[in-house]
Amino acid sequence: MKKELESKVINVIEQLKPYLQADGGDIRFVELTDENVVLVELQGACGSCPHSQITLKKGVETAVKKAVPEIVSVDDINLTF
């Protein structure tokens, strides 16, 4: 079941990549936790952009949760403590 969820999440992230890459950024899937939290790494311009959290939560997380309702949240590993 986890592998199936992970595959769906990766598919959504892959579809979002061109939009981030158009602005000089990128996103890399890192892990799907046992708690259904998706860990990603925002890269390039997205890694240092002051609006990256808005992009992550309003863009990436919204799209992932719409496609895969089981997902609790999407978090950037660079901002996870």
Condensed to tens digits (0 to 9), the pLDDT of residues 21-55 reads 998 999 999 999 999 999 999 998 887 777 888 88
Q: Hey, what domains does the chain have and what are their CATH numbers?
A: 2-79 (3.30.300.130)
More confident residue, 77 or 47: 77
Q: Who contacts 64 (Cβ-Cβ below 8 Å, separation ≥6)?
A: 9, 12, 13, 38, 71, 74
Residue 80: predicted pLDDT: 54
pLDDT(17) > 50: yes
Specify the pTM: 0.90
Which residues does residue 29 pair with via DSSP β-bridges, in sequence order? Answer: 40
Can you say how many angstroms the Cα of residue 26 is from the centroid of all Cα atoms in its chain?
Answer: 10
Instruction: Confirm if 2 and 70 have CB atoms less than 8 A apart.
Output: no
